[in-house]
Structure 1
């Protein structure tokens, strides 16, 4: 007798924030010269870098990058 496996590709999926193994990462980029603060696990380091960079260069526009991680999981009936 042959076993039959069904694959349900139409299931609903949700994104769940990953909090157990990874922490958010923060970085600041200067829009004027593309200099970057480097990645840090706390926002204060990149923010301090941006203020010092502004003082040295008079560049005043920055892009804040906040990276966090998500898992895609099938949606359960109770969600």
Structure 2
């Protein structure tokens, strides 16, 4: 007789990962698609937007913030 499989269900938690870098910021022009490049602070992309608007006359921008998450088993999860 073949062995039977045992399946355990665990509760998982998703949290912001603070072990690495913080959020990464970037801005994109919604008119031409040009990008500020990434930065550790939102200040650099914001300044880029203002300079780009002054040079090009483009006024629409998309703010992109990338955060990192980590999934882990909940302490009190266990098998059900």
Please give the TM-score of this superposition, normalised by the length of structure 1: 0.81
In 1, the alpha carbon distance for the partners of 2:35 and 2:72 equals 34
Cα displacement string for residues 2-51 of structure 1 (whole angstroms, at most 9, x for unaligned residues): xxx9552x322121111122221000000000000000000000000001
- Identify the residue that residue 60 of structure 1 maps to in structure 2: 59
Moved over 4 A (4+): none
- Identify the residue that residue 20 of structure 1 maps to in structure 2: 19
In 2, the alpha carbon distance for the partners of 1:59 and 1:41 equals 24
Alignment RMSD: 2.0
In 2, the alpha carbon distance for the partners of 1:18 and 1:46 equals 23
Number of aligned residues = 74
Q: Which runs of 5+ in 2 are unaligned?
A: none
Helix, strand or coil at the partner of 2:47: helix
- Identify the residue that residue 74 of structure 1 maps to in structure 2: 73
